[in-house]
């Protein structure tokens, strides 16, 4: 039983998120997803997501192939989360390339290419425009 873990905000869910989750799931037998908290987003980006952490967790938990969802409260706790959920592989989009290499001592770290030309920020700009 190989456990895959991945993390994200997943605000205004789009096909880039879905493809990343689907490719992550294909690398193992069980997919655990850490959804970043509203407070973590505010501390990183100085703004809150459009959808609350409860809403984002609810949406992610209903996606086919997602077996477990939890709240990611701090970037510094990644190592602890990997251990807690028994991760064999940490999957991140390649916008994080190299950033989590130090976690290789706990589990394998894999960066997958992002889907080009789509992002939550672009959706917000397009719909506001
Ligand atoms: N993604 C993708 N293609 C896109 C947009 C996003 O493959 N066009 C991927 C990202 O690389 C990430 C996942 O979808 O792996 C979730 O993206 P975000 O919600 O933007 O996640 P982020 O805020 O970068 O994660 O510990 C990390 C944090 O949880 C933050």
**30-65, pLDDT tens digit by residue?**
999 999 999 999 999 999 999 999 999 999 999 999
CA of 1 to the centre of ligand 1 (A): 25
Alpha carbon distances (Å) from 86 to 4, 26, 76: 9, 17, 17
Which ligand 1 atom sits closest to the C-alpha of 95? Answer: 11
CB 69 within 8 A of CB 57: yes
CB 29 within 8 A of CB 2: yes
Helix, strand, or coil (residue 92): strand
Q: Is the pLDDT confidence value at 15 over 80?
A: yes
CB 32 within 8 A of CB 67: yes
Q: What's the predicted TM-score (pTM) here?
A: 0.96
- pLDDT value, residue 129: 75
Alpha carbon distances (Å) from 35 to 7, 12, 56, 81: 6, 13, 7, 12
Give mean pLDDT, residues 95-107. 96
Categorize the per-residue pLDDT at 67 as very low, low, confident or very high, splitting at 50, 70 and 90: very high
């Amino acid at each position: 039983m190989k456990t895959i873990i991945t993390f994200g905000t997943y605000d205004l869910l789009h096909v880039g998120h879905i493809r990343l989750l689907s490719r992550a799931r294909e690398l193992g037998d069980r997919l655990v997803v850490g959804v970043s908290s509203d407070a973590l987003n505010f501390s990183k980006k100085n703004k809150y997501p459009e959808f609350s952490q409860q809403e984002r967790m609810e949406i992610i938990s209903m996606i086919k192939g997602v077996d477990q969802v939890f709240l990611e409260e701090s970037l510094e706790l990644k190592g602890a989360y990997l251990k807690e959920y028994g991760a064999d592989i940490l999957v991140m989009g390649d916008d994080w390339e190299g950033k989590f290499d130090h976690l290789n001592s706990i589990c394998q770290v894999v960066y997958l290419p992002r889907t080009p030309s789509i992002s939550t920020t672009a959706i917000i700009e397009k719909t506001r425009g």
